[in-house]
Amino acid sequence: MTYVKGLEGIIAAETKVGHVDGEKGQLIYRGYWAKDLAINYSFEEVSYLIWNGTLPNHDELKAFKQKMVTHRTLPANIVALMDCLPKDTEVMSALRTCISALGDPSYSWPPTKEQALAITAVTPTIIAYWYRKMNDLEVVEPNEHLDHVANYLYMINGEIPDQSLVTALNAYFVLTIEHGMNASTFSSRVISSTESDMVSAICGAIGAMKGPLHGGAPSGVITMFDEIGSEENIEPWVRKKLDNKEKIMGFGHRVYRTHDPRAEALKEVSKQISGDNGLFDLIVKIEDKTIELLNEYKPGRGIYTNVEYFAAAVMKAVELPSELFTPTFTASRVVGWTAHVVEQSENNRIYRPQSAYIGYTPVEQNQ
């Protein structure tokens, strides 16, 4: 047996949910290009696709949306639980705690698509409820007339959101809904492989997403935009970072060795919502100059913008506070997690890798 640190390059499962090709810069959901789905379809339509393998027709989508609306309302026990949490509890920690409290008998193994839908529908409500409560704001109840992403913004801000902002955040939700065997998805499949319930699997995934190496928010990219401020500052700012061997946030990815297709789609959406404030023009010029200088300083490395770069532009446009970046990512990725959990149960074998012991044996200790 061969030891591979971090299991990099090891195939641990077969899946029909999604495919990531880092060399070619491709991201596929159930046979569709993720970029096309993000630009042309709603979060509900893509969620249906992820769980069922096909896009819904008109009647299927109508019924699906109604089910989502039904499951948005917080159960009384979740409200009571949040009322007991310390107000300085991080949003991700509160979310993990509340999701765990959903674990009633209806979530027993094997997992189902109905369970997946219920968890996905209630996740934004938990996030919004806790965010407003921790900031001493009046809680905003779900609006049954709004679609999933629009309702999320409504519950956060207490106002019906502008459609252009909904379009932008919808694209972000779709592009982060699934991304192969990442740390959180792997965690969910490992837990499900023990025949534990879906709630436990999703709590494990949230725990993995909470780590800054995985669910790291694009706050650093927004800070970069603010520090650069104008076109004439771009090259001096980037050169100083590179001369000091500092990381430039929003560039490079563990998987992609060319353009991140998620970044390309969000780039198109960002252009649509930038308006007349010059934000889009600035971030495109920052992107172009940074890639040029990265090629100069690190030739042959193939470092390009990742999804966080243009996600930062979207987050800045919709004015989401930084403490909601990772929870918002989570509200989308829960669809991918639940799809993998269901898929794991359909051809299950418990995960049981080996470890290489490098410690002392009793005999060696006594010598």
Q: Which residues are catalytic?
A: 253, 308
What are the DSSP calls for 278-328, one per residue?
SHHHHHHHHHHHHHHHHHHHSTT----B-HHHHHHHHHHHHT--GGGHHHH
Sort 145 into a burial class: Cβ within 10 Å, 0-12 / 13-18 / 19+.
exposed
Residues in the chain: 367
Counts of helices then strands in the chain (DSSP H, E)? 17, 3
Q: What's the token pair of residue 239? A: 């050169």
Residues forming beta bridges with residue 21, ordered by sequence position: 26
User: In sequence order, which residues have a C-beta less than 8 Å from that of residue 166 and are 6 or more positions away?
Assistant: 147, 149, 150, 153
* DSSP letter (8 states) at residue 251: B
What are the DSSP calls for 109-146, one per residue?
SSP-HHHHHHHHHHHHHHHHHHHHHHTT-------TTS
HSE toward the beta carbon, residue 330, CA cutoff 13 A: 36
Cβ atoms within 10 A of the Cβ of 355, count? 7
> Distances in Å between the alpha carbon of 197 and those of 48, 102, 228, 342, 344?
21, 11, 47, 10, 12
